[in-house]
């Protein structure tokens, strides 16, 4: 194998280096080498370098000892061959975010209105003084006041600027947080390399060309390289090639390893030949970066995934990859090209639709916001119409004045004022704080969840977790401590309840046992001395193997000495552990030409392959099926029922006389074994798990254990955890039995059969990753329960990927998890602990509740402000709350309230209720009761103050004031009381389930307290010193106290509302449902078939556009028909009509799948010229061909 490396190194060193500081091959040589695959690569290596060892020597490295690891050498390599780092795309600048925030429609309308109002306030018609322009225009004569007319316009603009800056700042900090999170994930990735003869772990970014990296099952390769030594190595290259079949890698057939690919089986060593932007992944990333500079990205993580998908499509993506790409880019709707300019422009617009996280919550919110927006638009339009009508009737009818040219600017000023009032009503009605509240709440939760050991990779996973109804958890490491120790042994025909003394075991058996365990386990697995004095020894690598190595140490033997004698390169063949074999075997070639194979694996599987067993004298005797059954009953079952994992250690000799066996015929090789011993390995349950599971069950979440372990072991652990309770009629199944029950005679899986099993299934033992995926899919697709189940899954292995992807929320293990599992997951558990999942549930529910609290508060203000503005305008021809005041209220409502209410910390009481479910409305009946109850109180107070306030406080009335009249005390009191009521109602809004104590835990949330007091302070400043811009006058202490008292009344009124049972108020309907599947039109559902999930938020936004496109298509088809008749050439007509008729059938489809596009055979030839099919299924529109 690689043993002759040193001699190669000595010979070639002289002539390989062209000059002292130079390497024997350039960056370009290595890049071209890595672009070759399979046999081509081998030929190139042989032609250019002779063999891999020569290449190693040219790169000044040793296949055995690796690089020296000296800083100067590492720096030089980074300088010449580059660093292992792919620079991320530029973040959006603050100004870009400001520009995006300015795109908001309501803000644009306001800006326009404000600018018009500004312009008109400066315009002075010369003759207007002598003409009577009606009563309403009285007071304009006062010069000083007329001068101040511009202030309102300017103040509106100023508040727009405020809103924009706040929004942009929030977006910016969110972006920053994501980048921080991304870099943290990257920093935590470490990889094993050999430097200076020592095996060490270094951050992925520190890997350089010439490093010897150790690769194993589950790794995501961080750089390109060439295989030096491999055992049974299989790689999933689908991320680069789109081929889903695993590629077998060997030194003599295909040694090329590429970055970004996954190790699915086996282990080995590779020589790193290209890193960072020069690796294959890096080259593609660079190409994409250049192509995508002007694309918008929501978050860095998403960007990575999308790039990966484009990369998949770039090569020749398999169906899976296309589907994944479609699911992620599903938002970008594409159509068949329309042969018109409009079509092309629409195309562009469509492709640039915003990409959104697919989340239930966001779907409900978008739907709600659209509904509220429509209502707001209607109210504001009615307000404007009524104001204009009243003004016109009063001026031209009642006063009987003619329309005089000189008065036109004054009238226009009135109309602008009315328009501004209308727009302000709209601004207050539209809850633009909703997305802000969601963002803040999620971002805040994600930040805090880091402290609770949850590293969230996809934002919406956080909120989905709150709806979880089922958790499918692994056993090892999640429910148990993953600190394994051998506690019972059956060896030399005797069952020991504890590890026996070495003297008891016959010497021959002992030698076989120690040798078998030492060589037949990954060499990366070892037991290190404890970190702290008196602590437990550290287990590094696979924990089951650690237990066996610990057993060797307990027998007073040293496994390391044997490993030094037989290095990994000397192993003849290794069958690595995988979920199908459920065992691992290693073959050694002996000096006399014979072979010895050692195997270890699940006891009931391996014992079936044993035909001999070592006796008390160390001799082998025949092991009959009867003996096996005895052993299962007397040894394996008792061990398993105590929750021990049973492992069998066996061996087989292949005599030299029989010649070399066919190593690829595994079934022949892995038979006729001799059993050495059976060990029982204990993995204690984590102390905090039973309590966490009890909490889950109380919260309405079913915990299921899915494990590869023996059914008895699994059942025992499940009972210790509290998954199974004595007297329950829940079932435990083995993978085989599960498969038998869910498949029909043809071997196909039937949903009805799964539906019979899953509700009672609690433990699935001896399960393969496919079983896990089937179970998760079966539960998610089930229609047995009225609510669709929301499933969370934990996984650590490479083959858990599909199940993690399929689940609503995938949890990967941060410590034991492979890179592949982490890549497929939504949340990474940094401590691998089940109780952290319970914290994630708590945070998820908290997000949901925070949004509901915010909605309850926001909608109360909305209802009150809109009704006040509307009725006030209709009765007094002027809104009691001025535009600027409304904007301030809007700021309190939206930005501040979303900050205050969205940052409430979670409490354990959240786990005392059942999950809300996907279809539960955002606004419950109790919340409706609160919203309308408080609205009644607030409206009563406001209208009382508005119409009889001047009598109560003995001040001048502010009603019917002329256009530019000074602010009045009367209206200031109305405004101030309104704001005070909102402040106190914000405290009410903290509780949404009808709790009485609204102050409970208020001081745990300092953000809330500071915002309430801060708002109060600013309100004082606005009222006392705001003057003309805010239409306020300073108030006396008495008036202030009355305002505060009326505001405080909200809290008292809240107690009265809580006393009314919600069940009495049957007429109240909840609101904010998610879109049900059956509400979606058939053809839209067809379009969505390819997407993994229906994105409701996207649907709401798309619906209008779809109608618009349909209209366009119909018109265009009609035009085509007319043209066809006019020209009389049906073929040309058909050619021109073809794309649009296809797009009419599927108004909005994804071009990525050609199977959607139905062309008639007559136009098949022409369609080939219209679209060029790519193997990945992309259709690239070409220019129409002229015939």
Backbone angles phi, psi at 400, to 5 degrees: 65, 35
Taking the C-alpha atoms of residue 222 and residue 216, their distance in angstroms, rounded to an integer, is 12
Give the residue among 258, 271, 223, 198 at the shortest CA–CA distance from 52: 271
Taking the C-alpha atoms of residue 609 and residue 587, their distance in angstroms, rounded to an integer, is 17
Helices (H), 683-814: 689-698, 711-721, 735-742, 751-757, 769-781, 801-806
3-state SS assignment for residue 19: coil
Find out whether 537 and 529 touch, Cβ atoms under 8 Å: yes
- Crossing angle between the packed helical segments 341-351 and 1096-1127, to the nearest 10 degrees: 170
- Crossing angle between the packed helical segments 105-122 and 408-429, to the nearest 10 degrees: 160
Taking the C-alpha atoms of residue 1147 and residue 674, their distance in angstroms, rounded to an integer, is 67
CB atoms closer than 10 angstroms to residue 15: 8
Backbone angles phi, psi at 1175, to 5 degrees: -60, -30
Assign residue 618 a region: left if phi > 0, alpha if psi is -120 to 50, beta otherwise?
left
3-state SS assignment for residue 1023: helix
Taking the C-alpha atoms of residue 1032 and residue 1044, their distance in angstroms, rounded to an integer, is 17
Residue located via tokens 């809004």: 989
Give the residue among 800, 749, 759, 768 at the shortest CA–CA distance from 470: 759
Helices (H), 877-924: 883-891, 897-902
Contacts of range 559-567, beta carbons closer than 8 Å, 24 or more positions apart: 559/514, 559/517, 559/518, 560/526, 562/514, 562/515, 562/518, 562/519, 563/518, 563/519, 563/523, 566/519
Tokens of 766: 């001896």
Taking the C-alpha atoms of residue 208 and residue 83, their distance in angstroms, rounded to an integer, is 7
Terminal C-alpha separation, the chain: 65
- Dihedral sign, CA of 455, 461, 462, 467? negative
Give the residue among 565, 527, 466 at the shortest CA–CA distance from 913: 466
Question: Can you list the positions of beta strands (E) in 533-644?
Answer: 538-540, 573-575, 583-589, 595-602, 610-614, 620-622
- Which residue among the candidates 474, 800, 808, 849 is catalytic per the annotation? 474
What element of type H or E holds 31?
A: helix 27-34
Taking the C-alpha atoms of residue 478 and residue 723, their distance in angstroms, rounded to an integer, is 14
Query: Quick check: is 474 catalytic?
Result: yes
Is 1002 exposed, middle or buried, given 0-12, 13-18 or 19+ CB atoms closer than 10 A?
middle
3-state SS assignment for residue 585: strand
What element of type H or E holds 150?
A: helix 150-188
Q: Which residues pair with 575 in a beta bridge?
A: 585
Is 879 exposed, middle or buried, given 0-12, 13-18 or 19+ CB atoms closer than 10 A?
buried
Q: How many residues does the chain have?
A: 1187
**How do 1179-1181 and 1171-1173 pair as beta strands?**
antiparallel
Is 528 exposed, middle or buried, given 0-12, 13-18 or 19+ CB atoms closer than 10 A?
exposed
Helices (H), 203-330: 238-241, 280-291, 300-314, 319-328
Q: Which residues pair with 472 in a beta bridge?
A: 704, 793
Please give the positions annotated as active site.
474
């Amino acid at each position: 194998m690689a043993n002759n490396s040193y001699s190669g190194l000595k010979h070639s060193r002289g002539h390989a280096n062209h000059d002292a500081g130079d390497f024997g091959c350039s960056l370009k040589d290595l890049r071209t080498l890595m672009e070759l695959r399979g046999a081509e690569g081998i030929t190139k290596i042989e032609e250019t370098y002779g063999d891999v060892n020569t290449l190693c020597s040219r790169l000044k490295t040793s296949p055995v000892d690796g690089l020296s690891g000296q800083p100067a050498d590492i720096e030089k390599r980074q300088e010449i061959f580059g660093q292992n780092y792919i620079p991320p795309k530029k973040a959006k600048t603050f100004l870009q975010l400001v520009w995006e925030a300015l795109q908001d429609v309501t803000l644009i309308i306001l800006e326009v209105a404000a600018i018009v109002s500004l312009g008109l306030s400066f315009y002075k018609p010369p003759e207007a003084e002598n003409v009577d322009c009606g009563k309403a225009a009285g007071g304009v004569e006062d010069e000083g006041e007329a001068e101040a007319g511009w202030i309102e316009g300017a103040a509106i603009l100023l508040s727009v600027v405020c809103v924009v800056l706040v929004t942009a700042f929030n977006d910016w900090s969110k972006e920053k947080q994501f980048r921080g999170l991304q870099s943290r994930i990257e920093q935590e990735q470490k990889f094993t390399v050999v430097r200076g003869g020592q095996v060490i772990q270094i951050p992925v970014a520190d890997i350089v060309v010439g490093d010897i990296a150790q690769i194993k099952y589950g790794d995501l390769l961080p750089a390109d390289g060439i295989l030096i030594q491999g055992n049974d190595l299989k790689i999933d290259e689908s991320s680069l090639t789109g081929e889903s079949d695993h590629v077998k890698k060997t030194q003599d057939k295909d040694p090329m390893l590429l970055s970004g690919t996954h190790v699915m089986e086996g282990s080995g060593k590779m020589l790193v030949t290209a890193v960072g932007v020069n690796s294959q992944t890096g080259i593609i990333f660079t190409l994409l970066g250049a192509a995508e500079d002007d694309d918008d990205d929501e978050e860095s993580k998403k960007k990575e995934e999308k790039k990966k998908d484009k990369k998949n499509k770039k090569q020749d993506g398999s169906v899976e990859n296309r589907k994944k790409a479609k699911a992620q880019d599903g938002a970008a709707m594409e159509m068949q090209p329309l042969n018109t300019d409009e079509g092309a422009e629409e195309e562009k617009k469509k492709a640039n639709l915003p990409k959104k996280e697919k989340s239930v919550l966001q779907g409900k919110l978008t739907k709600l916001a659209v509904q509220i927006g429509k209502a707001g638009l209607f109210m504001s339009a009615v307000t404007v119409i009524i104001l204009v009508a009243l003004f016109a009737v009063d001026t031209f009818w009642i006063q009987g004045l003619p329309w005089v040219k000189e008065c036109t600017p004054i009238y226009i000023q009135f109309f602008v004022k009315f328009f501004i009032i209308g727009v302000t009503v709209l601004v207050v009605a539209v809850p633009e704080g909703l997305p802000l509240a969601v963002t803040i709440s999620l971002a805040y939760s994600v930040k805090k969840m880091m402290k609770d050991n949850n590293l969230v990779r996809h934002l919406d996973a956080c909120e989905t977790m709150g709806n979880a109804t089922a958790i499918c958890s692994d056993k090892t490491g999640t429910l148990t401590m993953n600190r394994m120790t051998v506690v019972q042994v059956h060896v030399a025909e005797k069952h020991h309840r504890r590890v026996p003394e070495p003297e008891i075991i016959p010497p021959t058996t002992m030698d076989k046992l120690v040798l078998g365990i030492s060589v037949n386990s990954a060499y990366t697995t070892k037991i290190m001395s404890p970190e702290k004095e008196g602590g437990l020894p550290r287990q590094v690598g696979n924990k089951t193997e650690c237990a066996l190595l610990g057993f060797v140490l307990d027998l007073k033997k040293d496994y390391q000495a044997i490993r030094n004698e037989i290095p990994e390169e000397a192993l003849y063949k290794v069958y690595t552990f995988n979920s199908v074999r459920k065992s691992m075997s290693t073959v050694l070639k002996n000096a006399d030409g014979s072979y010895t194979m050692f195997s270890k694996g699940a006891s009931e599987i391996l014992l079936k392959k044993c035909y001999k067993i070592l006796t008390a004298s160390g001799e082998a005797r025949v092991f009959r099926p009867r003996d096996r059954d005895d052993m299962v009953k007397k040894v394996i079952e008792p061990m398993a029922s105590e929750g021990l994992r049973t492992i069998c250690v066996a061996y087989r000799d292949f005599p030299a006389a029989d010649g070399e066996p066919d190593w690829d015929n595994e079934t022949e090789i892995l038979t006729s074994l001799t059993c050495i011993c059976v060990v029982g390995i204990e993995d204690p349950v984590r102390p905090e798990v039973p309590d966490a599971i009890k909490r889950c069950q109380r919260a309405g979440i079913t915990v299921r254990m899915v494990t590869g372990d023996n059914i008895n072991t699994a059942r025992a652990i499940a009972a210790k955890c509290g998954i199974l309770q004595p007297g329950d009629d829940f079932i435990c199944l083995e993978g085989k039995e599960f498969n038998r029950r869910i498949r029909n005679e043809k071997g196909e899986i039937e949903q009805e059969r799964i539906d019979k099993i899953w509700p009672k299934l609690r433990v699935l033992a001896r399960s393969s990753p496919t079983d896990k995926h089937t179970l998760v899919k079966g539960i998610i697709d089930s229609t047995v329960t009225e609510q669709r189940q929301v499933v969370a899954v934990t996984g650590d292995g490479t083959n858990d990927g599909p199940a993690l992807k399929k689940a609503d929320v995938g949890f990967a293990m941060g410590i034991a998890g492979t890179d592949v599992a982490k890549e497929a997951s939504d949340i990474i558990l940094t401590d691998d602990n089940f109780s952290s999942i319970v914290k994630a549930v708590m945070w998820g529910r908290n997000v949901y509740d925070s949004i509901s609290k915010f909605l309850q508060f926001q909608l109360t203000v909305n209802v009150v402000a809109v009704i006040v503005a509307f009725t006030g305008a209709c009765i007094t021809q002027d809104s009691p709350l001025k535009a600027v005041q409304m904007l301030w209220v809007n700021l309190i409502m939206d930005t501040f309230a979303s900050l205050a209410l969205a940052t409430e910390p979670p409490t354990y009481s959240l786990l005392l209720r059942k999950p809300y479910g996907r279809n539960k409305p955002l606004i419950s009946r109790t919340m409706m009761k609160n919203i309308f109850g408080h609205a009644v109180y607030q409206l009563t107070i406001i209208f009382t103050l508005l119409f009889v306030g001047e009598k109560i406080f003995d001040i001048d009335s502010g009603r019917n004031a002329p256009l530019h009249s000074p602010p009045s005390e009367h209206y200031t009191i109305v405004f101030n009381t309104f704001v005070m009521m909102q402040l106190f109602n914000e405290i009410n809004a903290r509780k949404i389930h009808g709790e009485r104590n609204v102050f409970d835990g208020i001081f745990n949330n300092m953000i809330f307290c500071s915002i309430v007091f801060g708002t109060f302070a600013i309100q004082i400043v606005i009222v006392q010193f705001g003057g003309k811009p805010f239409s306020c006058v300073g108030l006396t202490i008495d008036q202030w106290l009355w305002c505060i008292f009326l505001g405080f009344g909200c809290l008292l009124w809240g107690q009265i509302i809580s006393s009314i049972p919600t069940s009495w108020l049957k007429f109240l309907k909840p609101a904010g449902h998610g879109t049900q599947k059956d509400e979606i039109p058939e053809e839209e559902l067809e379009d969505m078939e390819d997407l993994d999930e229906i994105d409701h938020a996207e649907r709401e936004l798309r619906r209008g556009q779809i109608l618009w496109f349909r209209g366009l298509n119909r018109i265009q088809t009609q035009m085509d028909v007319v043209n066809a008749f006019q020209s009389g050439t049906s073929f040309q007509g058909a050619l021109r009509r073809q794309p649009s008729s296809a797009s009419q059938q599927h108004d909005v489809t994804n071009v990525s799948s050609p199977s959607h596009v139905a062309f008639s055979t007559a136009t098949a030839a022409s369609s080939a010229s219209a679209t060029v099919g790519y193997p990945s299924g992309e259709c690239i529109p070409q220019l129409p061909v002229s015939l």
